[in-house]
């Protein structure tokens, strides 16, 4: 695995975390104020901010410049209800899981392990928002053998 | 005399009619097996090399899925009563995901034709792969449904941890599959817990 591939995978994970951090702001705004669910969204938002910080450090430590977050992100679908907010949170987690699988493909064991732990954390959070599990979190269907 | 002729041939870099005849006589007298033992083809009959670490990891993961599935089948039977009607659907949902895990893992395993993988124990012969007695996938199902569900949660977490622990020996695509399956199994823990809260 080349250094460019490593940085590319780290940048992709960072981008997904930045989008999730932004998205959770939308999620929280559409959940009942002061509810346990909103508190859960806040907890998950903190997890994504911290993960983004970790990725920023990992990229900088390799002599590259972390790509800054965008000012705003296009939502995958309109969000105006609690159900839509929960669906957005689950979608954000799916995308984060997929991005971290890029780290799992690297040969550097520490990055592979970090990526796998983050895929797992995202899948657990997604279950909390969606209410059900998926057989292959983060893996596109095209990568599965028939 | 034949040896002398061969030595003379070797010194000249030629093969004489006499040395050819000497070699033929050696074959006729039963010396052929001795000559063949120096060939690579005979070495192939020896002990095969041990499987590569990624193959061992894959076989272990397949075994773990099979033992988990056996365990789920037992819990489904336990839950197929009026008392378990609230959770049996959730259990079957997770069971179906393990079937999918097993199919994908098996699709990545290519065994040489005619091989009998001696290091691939059957699900029934090796109930424990996690090293934790309370979380072994093949451990007997506890008597009550709540206890059985709790044991399933522990087995799921142990299976997830074990998969992540094996990532270091895997090629990239297999590592991604292991990580994804590990994530799914970790997510089964809160899913089963929530189902138990709702349905028991």
- B28 and B64 housed in the same domain: no
- Its domain, for residue B28, covers 3-45
Average pLDDT rounded to a whole number, residues A115-142? 97
Q: What is the DSSP letter of B84?
A: G
CA-based nearest distance B188→chain A, Å: 7
Q: Token pair 């087995």 is at which residue?
A: B155
* Residue-level pLDDT at B117: 53
- Which parts of chain B fold into alpha helices (H)? 2-12, 17-26, 32-36, 40-43, 53-79, 88-107, 145-165, 172-199
* Residue-level pLDDT at B84: 86
- Residue of B175, B184, B190 with shortest CB distance to A137: B184
Average pLDDT rounded to a whole number, residues A62-74? 97
- B35 and B100 housed in the same domain: no
Q: Token pair 């800054």 is at which residue?
A: A68
The encoded tokens of residue A85 equal 């907010």
* Residue-level pLDDT at B161: 98
Chunked mean pLDDT (size 10), chain B, 200 residues: 44 47 45 46 72 95 98 94 89 98 96 57 41 45 87 97 97 97 98 92
Interface test with B, best of A103, A127, A140, A144 (most B CBs within 10 A): A127
- pLDDT band for A74, please (50, 70, 90 cuts): very high
- B150 and B68 housed in the same domain: yes
Q: Token pair 């691939």 is at which residue?
A: B120
Domain count, chain B: 2
CATH number of the domain encompassing residue B179: 1.20.1260.10
* Residue-level pLDDT at B140: 59
* DSSP symbols for A3-26: HHHHHHHHHHHHHHHHHHHHHHHH
Residue-wise burial string across A102-137, b where 16 or more C-beta atoms lie within 10 A, e elsewhere? bbbbbeeeebbbbbbbbbbbbbbbbbbbbeebbbbb
- pLDDT band for A48, please (50, 70, 90 cuts): very high
Residues 6+ apart with CB under 8 A from A112: A103, A104, A105, A106, B167, B168, B175
* Residue-level pLDDT at B156: 98
- Residue of B107, B172, B183 with shortest CB distance to A120: B183
In total, the C-beta contacts within 8 angstroms joining chain A to chain B are 100
* Residue-level pLDDT at A25: 97
* Residue-level pLDDT at B83: 82
* Residue-level pLDDT at A145: 85
Closest alpha carbon to A88 in A15, A33, A11, A31:
A31
- B19 and B73 housed in the same domain: no
């Amino acid at each position: 695995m080349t250094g460019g591939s490593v940085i590319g995978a780290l940048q992709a994970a960072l981008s997904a975390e930045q989008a999730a951090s932004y998205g959770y702001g939308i999620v929280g705004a559409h959940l009942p104020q002061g509810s346990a669910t909103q508190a859960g969204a806040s907890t998950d938002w903190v997890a994504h901010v911290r993960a983004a910080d970790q990725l920023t450090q990992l990229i900088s430590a390799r002599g590259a410049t972390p790509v800054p977050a965008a000012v705003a992100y296009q939502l995958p679908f309109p969000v105006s209800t609690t159900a839509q907010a929960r669906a957005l949170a689950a979608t954000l987690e799916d995308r984060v899981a997929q991005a971290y699988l890029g780290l799992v493909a690297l040969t550097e064991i520490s990055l592979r392990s970090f990526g796998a732990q983050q895929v797992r954390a995202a899948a657990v959070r997604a279950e909390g928002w969606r209410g059900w599990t998926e057989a292959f979190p983060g893996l596109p269907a095209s990568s599965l053998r028939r | 005399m034949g040896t002398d002729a061969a030595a003379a041939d070797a010194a000249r870099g030629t093969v004489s009619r006499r040395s050819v005849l000497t070699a033929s006589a050696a074959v006729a007298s039963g010396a052929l097996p001795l000559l063949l033992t120096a060939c690579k083809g005979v070495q192939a009959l020896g002990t095969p090399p041990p499987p590569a670490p990624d193959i061992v990891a894959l076989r272990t993961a397949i075994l773990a899925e099979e033992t988990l599935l056996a365990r789920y089948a037992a819990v489904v039977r336990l839950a197929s009563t009026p008392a378990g009607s609230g959770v049996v659907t959730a259990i079957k949902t997770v069971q179906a995901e393990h079937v999918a895990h097993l199919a994908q893992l098996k699709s990545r395993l290519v065994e040489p034709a005619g091989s009998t993988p001696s290091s691939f124990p059957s699900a029934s012969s090796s109930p424990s792969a996690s090293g934790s007695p309370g979380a072994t996938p093949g451990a007997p199902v506890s008597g009550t449904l709540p206890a059985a569900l709790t044991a399933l949660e522990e087995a799921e977490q142990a299976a997830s941890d074990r998969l992540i622990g094996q990532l270091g020996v895997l090629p990239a695509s297999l590592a991604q599959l292991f990580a994804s399956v590990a994530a799914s199994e970790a997510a089964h823990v809160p899913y089963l817990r929530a189902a138990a809260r709702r349905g028991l």
